[in-house]
Amino acid sequence: MTIYTRIKNRYSGVHFHPMDYTTLGYLLFLGLLIIPFHNNVLHWWVYPFAHLIVVWILTELIRTADQRPSPVLSFLRTFYPALCLAPMWGELNGLINMMFPHWANDFLVNTDLALFGVHPTVWVEKLFTPWLTELMNFFYISYFVFIPLGSFTLYFKGKQEETRDFFFLVFFTYTITFFLFLIFPAEGPWVILRDKHTIEPEGGIILRLVQFVEGRGSIKGGCFPSSHVAAAMTIALATLKSQKKIGIILFILSIGVAVSTVYCRYHHAIDSIAGIALGFSLFFAGNAILKKWKSSHS
């Protein structure tokens, strides 16, 4: 019996959701992509094996949860993409230039200048006030409650399939933006326009909290398009679809996230504009994929 036949027999009866194909497909494809493209990647040979092992573990989790369902397995089977998000984000720090050794920094800076006639993150300094800085940083850090609000409120109402639909839409957006980082490596204005930023923002506890989080969770080069903005927009639209009141709140916050990324100097304005456009586009594209998949499995 060949390895292919063994794998086919083992997983033939497993109910895979588009969420699974997206998350596992991203991990597998990126792991394989590193084999031919590993420019300046330290210990690059570790990545294909590590990704393959993670894909196998997650596939076994899905199979086991399908065959021997339990509350714990059901939760893990539904929420494993969220548990993968931080490692997926973090590993990009060492992979940004694996395909292209150049940086697209000048393109982003020049695009902002062409659109606005100024560097938006420099111009915005004239608006700096402690209360506005706190508000913008509140919007920025509110991004971290988007996934819990959008998913928990579905899952704990017993809507497991709808929760997986939600995670598919979210991770469809994340995986596309992560691949775009590799194709279009670029750094944020807090790096490349540092010498033009002459005023330091003053705020309170929220500013310090954001600076603490960003000091430990930011990556070099994950700039265009803004995955924070794209994901926030997709999550807000996905939540509006199923939970209108929470969705309205998240949509308002998502606009705040887009503005705050520029005010707080984490992104060029074009990054946020592209993030909004991408979030909208991938939400509708993802829904079309879900609709077609469900019609073929009904």
Residue 74 lies in a domain: no
Residue 37 lies in a domain: no
CA distance 100 to 38: 9
Residue 277 lies in a domain: yes
- pLDDT at 20 (0 to 100): 96
Residue 167 lies in a domain: yes
To the question of pTM greater than 0.85 for the whole model, the response is yes
> In which residue are the tokens 């309205």 written?
248
- pLDDT at 35 (0 to 100): 95
- pLDDT at 216 (0 to 100): 61
127, 137, 153, 207, 268 from 130: Cα distances, Å = 10, 11, 34, 9, 22
By residue count, the chain amounts to 298
Residue 22 lies in a domain: no
**CA 111, 114, 118, 121: dihedral to nearest 10 degrees?**
-20
Look up the domain containing 112 and give its range: 85-296
Residue 281 lies in a domain: yes
- pLDDT at 39 (0 to 100): 87
Within the chain, which residues score under 50 in pLDDT? none
- pLDDT at 11 (0 to 100): 76
- pLDDT at 196 (0 to 100): 93
Q: Positive or negative, the Cα torsion across 241, 224, 21, 63?
A: negative
Radius of gyration of the chain measured on its C-alpha atoms: 20
Provide the number of structural domains found in the chain. Answer: 1
Residue 197 lies in a domain: yes
The answer to whether residues 185 and 102 touch, using CB atoms and an 8 Å cutoff, is: yes
- pLDDT at 118 (0 to 100): 95
